[in-house]
Structure 1
Amino acid sequence: MLDDAQRGPGAPVGSTGGLAHLLLNSYQERLIQSRLQEEQEREEGAQEEDEDEDDDIAVQQKEWEPTPEEKVLLREEFISQMHQRFLDGKDKDFDYSEVDENPDYDNLDIVSRDAEDKYFDEDEEEEEEDEVENDEEEEHMTE
């Protein structure tokens, strides 16, 4: 048996059986290494599966060629989506303020119609207010 000085630093003080301790440590170290190796093998297997799936997808994409009719439909769908995206103001490469604030792009028919609608709406509101006032005056007179 080894005394405390012969066991070396880090060995538990008062422990007996230096050989048993050494064997136990060796066994634990082998367990840890085997677990680590199993973990690495699992990770490598998962990476290989991911690579295989990526390869399969790439092959499928290379094999699929749309028919001329599908190409027309896909093109129309793409144009429609991009058009709607532009109208929704989601095109980051376009400065919408240049168009919004430029009176040259305004539809003059719509602008003049809006002005007329506003004028007649204001006129109708004034007439309604006058009618309400007249009704109130008549009620006061009859009381």
Structure 2
Amino acid sequence: MESNYSGWYSVRDECFYNESELVDRKAPTEAEVEWVAKEKSYFFKLSAMGELLLKMYEEYPEMIAPKSRFLNEVKSFVSGGLRDLSASRTSFKWGVPAPDDEDHVMYVWIDWLANYMSALGYGSDNTENCEKF
């Protein structure tokens, strides 16, 4: 889904931050931030995944490790509501172009995910590792 995105952006962190996350007008990592107003972006509809993720955690609690420390924390975070994630930028040209829209460059974490999936055999005849992981 394409929409506009605005927010505090850290070039060093390659990350947008909410106003509530800033400390003395800096990122939590102490990196400088700048206001980006209405940049077009494609969004990953993470907000629609909350119930599916919670169901997966119930059925496959071993996917969160170590369970004793993180399972309740992750479930609580997801239960609090997930926001859609900006997945592309239009303010620079280096990077992987978005499919069917060369005005957008995909965020690296989208590119990495595709690499991990293809390394596991996604889209090939050998899907054993993809199904396992």
Q: Give the TM interval when normalised to the shorter protein.
A: under 0.3
TM-score by length of 1: 0.19
For the pair shown, the structure with the greater C-alpha radius of gyration is 1
Structure 1 or 2: more strand by fraction: 2
Higher relative CO (Cα under 8 Å, sequence separation at least 6) belongs to: 2
